[in-house]
Amino acid sequence: MKNIRGTYQEAELPELGEGEQIDTSIPADPNVKNYSYTVVDGEVYYRENSRMVKPELNATAAERVKGMVALRDCVNELIALQMDEYSAESRIQEAQTELNRLYDAFSAKHGLINDRANRLAFSDDSSYYLLCSLEVLDDDGKLERKADMFHKRTIKQQRSVDSVDTASEALAVCIGEKACVDLSFMASLMGGSEKIPQIVEDLKGVIYKEPNSGPFDLQDGGEHWAKGWQTADEYLSGNVRQKLRTAQRVAARDPFFAGNVDCPDCCPAEGLGGQ
């Protein structure tokens, strides 16, 4: 060692202007939601858009944040498991056990998630109020019980209806899932596109094709037949007089739209033809 020659020079730190600080931020982790805390190598960071910055926290606040980050991540995992219809019940129960363990350890050390100190430490996190919902409080703000998520399956996977027997059922499912009249979708529920004429016939007076949307012709190779379908409530609202004039004009050359001109069973007052 004594024969080593050379000089040691301390690394120069960049000169900072008044009020400036060394940038300790890091690139944002895409797995961390924006405006959320995370822990990297034991250090607390807060994601703001494309960067994650170190917030100014004292040691106690940092420990609170770390505990709630662990709780948040466990809650999100439990939600994801419950929404996955293929999740084994045993896997969900394991996540619930872990959530109970994390919560008991956190509350024993830092109190309720809803307590003021924890709110001050973690309220900037977009999931803070989700965590608050883990606690059911009484009128005095004391813990009454843990939320059902700790021990029950609170989310059930919504199963889509894939088959119905009638046109009215197909319409109900279609409105519920698509919020519009989609003949192709309705036909798929009833067995195929060959059901389209039956659907239109069965739903006369319940659905209408807007006259300016094109002809109802399944053989011309176009897609006009699928466009412009509305429920009676939608079609028979607004300027019904103008709609009547349009329907009369189009029906004169296309008899399919005759039903749009005279529909006493579902029109207000004296019917669309009487406006």
| Helix %, strand %, coil % of the chain (to 5) | 45, 10, 45
- The backbone region for 5, taken as left when phi is positive above 0, alpha when psi lies in -120 to 50, beta otherwise, is beta
**AA identity, residue 76:** N
Give me the pLDDT at residue 32, please.
92
**AA identity, residue 207:** I
User: Closest by alpha carbon to 206, among 242, 171, 254, 258?
Assistant: 171
Rounded Cα distance, 75 and 79, in Å:
6
Give me the pLDDT at residue 3, please.
55
Give me the pLDDT at residue 130, please.
92
| Cβ(122)–Cβ(71) below 8 Å | no
**AA identity, residue 37:** Y
Give me the pLDDT at residue 66, please.
98
Give me the pLDDT at residue 109, please.
98
Give me the pLDDT at residue 16, please.
47
What are the pLDDT digits (tens) for 36-92? 999 999 999 999 999 999 999 999 999 999 999 999 999 999 999 998 878 889 999
What is the DSSP track for 39-93? Answer: EETTEEEEEETTEEE-----HHHHHHHHHHHHHHHHHHHHHHHHH-TT--HHHHH
Rounded Cα distance, 56 and 65, in Å:
12
Q: Is the dihedral of CA 21, 26, 32, 34 positive or negative?
A: positive
Query: For the chain, which residues score pLDDT lower than 70?
Result: 1-22, 157-159, 218, 220-222, 263-275
Strand segments, DSSP code E, in 156-233 are 207-209, 229-231
**AA identity, residue 81:** L
Rounded Cα distance, 46 and 34, in Å:
8
Q: Which long-range contacts (CB under 8 A, 24 or more apart) does 30-37 make?
A: 33/126, 33/127, 34/126, 35/124, 35/125, 35/126, 36/72, 36/125, 36/126, 36/127, 37/65, 37/68, 37/69, 37/122, 37/124, 37/125
Q: Is the dihedral of CA 230, 232, 238, 242 positive or negative?
A: positive
Give me the pLDDT at residue 102, please.
98
